[in-house]
């Protein structure tokens, strides 16, 4: 799962987005998003899907990137 978290962080940084931007669009707090991105919080299937939609990639791409 660490590689998925790393991929999400890389996508965010590649798009020059802050954690706050992504959190706002996912309708969660910045601290919740930071915990997710640091691995302190588990990534649910629903949240994984939301991130895929937000970054305009498939879930499979998030997993394999």
Q: What's the pLDDT at 2?
A: 87
What are the C-alpha distances in Å from 32 to residues 36, 39, 60, 64, 65?
A: 6, 11, 23, 24, 23
In this predicted structure, the answer to whether residue 18 has a pLDDT above a threshold of 90 is: yes
pLDDT in tens, 51-65: 999 999 999 999 985
Instruction: Please report which confidence band the pLDDT of residue 1 belongs to, taking 50, 70 and 90 as the band edges.
Output: confident
pTM above threshold 0.85: yes
């Amino acid at each position: 799962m660490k590689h998925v978290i790393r991929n999400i962080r890389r996508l965010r940084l590649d798009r020059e987005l802050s954690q706050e931007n992504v959190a706002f669009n996912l309708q969660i707090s910045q601290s919740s998003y930071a915990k997710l991105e640091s691995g302190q919080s588990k990534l649910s299937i629903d949240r994984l899907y939301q991130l895929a939609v937000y970054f305009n990639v498939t879930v499979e791409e998030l997993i394999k990137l």
